[in-house]
Structure 1
């Protein structure tokens, strides 16, 4: 079946957000596309078109409610006539450089895997290490539900969450499960045993963002001086439904962050300095890019209020790199200011007041995808500065 709904009343800047959110309407959706002012949803839902349309109209109402004066502004733009215009994903798959396990879940081989390591090394040495007193931390790939609750992630981005569980600590349940697998001839998606009744209530989820562990680690502490700066890289996980078929939307990805926690001036000044370092790097590496005011894709009925507040207060910037083949750009780095949201949530003190926080994030796989999408796999076509730095890193890594 195909459900077609008019987008009348929804500004064009919100069409992409609607398409993204519509993927979560029903598990049977097979395709979503925007054409001629309409959204087309191909599905096999037993609920029928009327139920799908009702949910689409709820989303349209969510994203178009009120005029909050979205503030759009480009802070920096570096335009480059890049040499590669092919389908880099198709080429990487054909040459077996990446192995697609399922949409959004990849195995990365050389030279993609080397480029990822080089990019992370560069973000540390060329940006993070320029901040005085910075320290590096290592975080687990899972996070406690109680910790995630303090970040408001459950209410702001519930669609992303990957819960972790295990069989209940009951020998009868464990043995029955094992026997059911044997009887079925191996794991099947539809198990004869009711997993819902036999899985323990989740205590953990996969970590959706690197910086959350930093705030958890500073909980109930009083910081000295003006604040602290930390860098860390972590595997992050976000479920994005059919959006994993979009360029760069991964189920499992690597996020390097630089995290500022301290007095307002300390965090704001370091954040502004990070923006300058990032702009310098974009020019040095000659990547086609734009730095602009952005907002998080809040999955809540008060989306417009939250998103407009972020934009108008300039709390989030994104460095977007162009993907020439699809004539779009993807966010590869974000620069965020959280005010005292996390300082309050985790009781992180600066004297008698709660700390404010900010962070700079680098999506390692996205940077690699975008660079290859602009310059291809032939190193002879790479920008000279990037190529020289990459070769110097390779020699150092031998």
Structure 2
């Protein structure tokens, strides 16, 4: 199946080696420039790869008997406030505002908007925003955030805990020319709620499975200890503590950042942070611990284009067979082979 238009192929061929991955993706029509850094349209080819990657992830977690939940890319403002996200990442959060005024307010808004439009696009004022007020919803910062209050309302967890499969667009106010650092992007997550032992075993399993998937995709694997980008001077103390307790690992792949590799998967142990906030209890009454594996859908897709080229028809046969062939069988066979000869991936391993 041909998935690259002749026009895109010609544009891609004309791209010089000095251009960045972003330039190449835009020239090939795989990403669509909106005029705002970190905000892109996606082509049919790009979305097709995302869809097939998503199917491979589903097959990878098929035996987990996870509850599938899908939420819009927004969540209740009160749940967001309770999550303590603003304590750690105030610079990344996105709120949703709307006009809530009367006729006079509307007239003020329109006058301010006319004044703004009279200026050049780069110098436009934002006085019209004074007529906007916060709504009761905010943009979702991570796919797993909406599930915790939902789980809390159900009461105590069953003895074997719960596993949830969630996928959502997420927002982080982080405008950048690096296509691996989008402001709106998709996260696919498997989230585990239960005892510390259940969550730690879950995370180790997904470090191994996530690494296996990346190898099947023909991409280099490097899993390393990491920390979240906590805000401010106090954030360094929190980040150091997170690393000291080995709460977060990331699978890193070279994308577009010349300074280093980009996290394409993350493996997180939250301890009882979310369990305590929302009073999620285990069957025995203990506060539930949580953890998750997060797949950066755009980032993995970018890695595929970065390492295999812009024409999906020319990707390695094994990669094409995984994504456009019998995905279920290939993932199942790989899992079976890995279980027969376990080789746990640890921090710093490279393949």
Q: Do they superpose with TM above 0.5?
A: yes
State the Cα deviation string for residues 349-397 of structure 1 (Å, max 9, x = none).
Answer: 1131111000000111111111111110234652332111222279xxx
- The CA distance in 2 between the partners of 1:388 and 1:365, in whole Å, is 20
What aligned pairs does 1:169-180 form with structure 2 within 5 A after superposition? 169-178=101-110
Q: Which residue of 1 aligns with 2:330?
A: none
SS at match of 2:91: helix
Tell me the distance in 1 between the aligned counterparts of 2:127 and 2:219.
52
Shift of residue 176, structure 1, vs aligned partner: 3.9
2:199: which partner in 1?
267
Aligned equivalent of 1:118, options 41, 52, 68:
52
1-structure distance, mates of 2:134, 2:52: 40
1:61 aligned residue: none
- Cα distance in 1 for partners of 2:46, 2:115 equals 42
- CA 1:327–1:85 in structure 2 vs 1: closer, same or farther (change >3 Å)? farther
| Cα displacement (A) at 1:216 | 1.8
1:205 equivalent to 2:138? Answer: yes
Task: Please state how far the C-alpha of 1:247 moved relative to its aligned partner.
Answer: 4.0
How far, CA to CA, are the matches of 1:378 and 1:333 in structure 2? 24
Q: CA deviation at 1:168?
A: 2.1
Superposition map of 1:1-398 within 5 A = 87-101=20-34, 102-126=36-60, 128-131=61-64, 133-178=65-110, 181=113, 189-190=124-125, 193=128, 195-196=129-130, 198-220=131-153, 221-241=155-175, 244-323=176-255, 326=258, 328-350=260-282, 351-379=284-312, 381-392=314-325
Do 1:141 and 1:236's aligned partners in 2 also have CA atoms closer than 8 Å?
Answer: yes
RMSD: 2.5
Q: Deviations over 1:27-53 (max 9, x none)?
A: xxxxxxxxxxxxxxxxxxxxxxxxxxx
Write the distance in 2 (CA, Å) between the matches of 1:229 and 1:111: 32
Q: Structure 1, unaligned stretches of length 5 or more?
A: 1-83
Contact in 1 for aligned 2:217/2:304 (Cα 8 Å): no
1:391–1:286: structure 2 CA closer, same or farther, 3 Å change rule?
same
Check conservation: 1:324, 1:374, Cα contact below 8 A.
Answer: no
- Quickly say closer, same or farther: Cα 1:183–1:380, change in 2 above 3 A: closer
| Structure 2 contact 211–221 (Cα < 8 Å) conserved | no
Q: What do the CA deviations read for 1:222-262 (whole angstroms, capped 9, x no partner)?
A: 11122000011101000014xx1224100100110100011
Report the TM-score, using the length of structure 1 for normalisation: 0.71
TM superposition shift of 1:88 = 3.3
Note if contact 1:98-1:106 (Cα within 8 Å) is conserved in structure 2.
yes
SS of alignment partner, residue 354 of structure 1: coil
Moved more, 174-183 or 214-223: 174-183
Q: Are residues 251 and 325 of structure 1, via their aligned partners in 2, closer, same or farther at CA, if it must alter by over 3 Å?
A: closer
Taking the aligned partners of 1:169 and 1:113, their CA distance within structure 2 comes to 39
Deviations 1:282-320 (A, max 9, x none): 222221121101000101322222111111211100001
**Does the CA-based 8 Å contact 1:85-1:324 persist in structure 2?**
no
TM-score normalized with structure 2 length? 0.80
- Separation in 1 of the partners of 2:257 and 2:273? 39
CA distance in 2, matches of 1:86, 1:293: 31
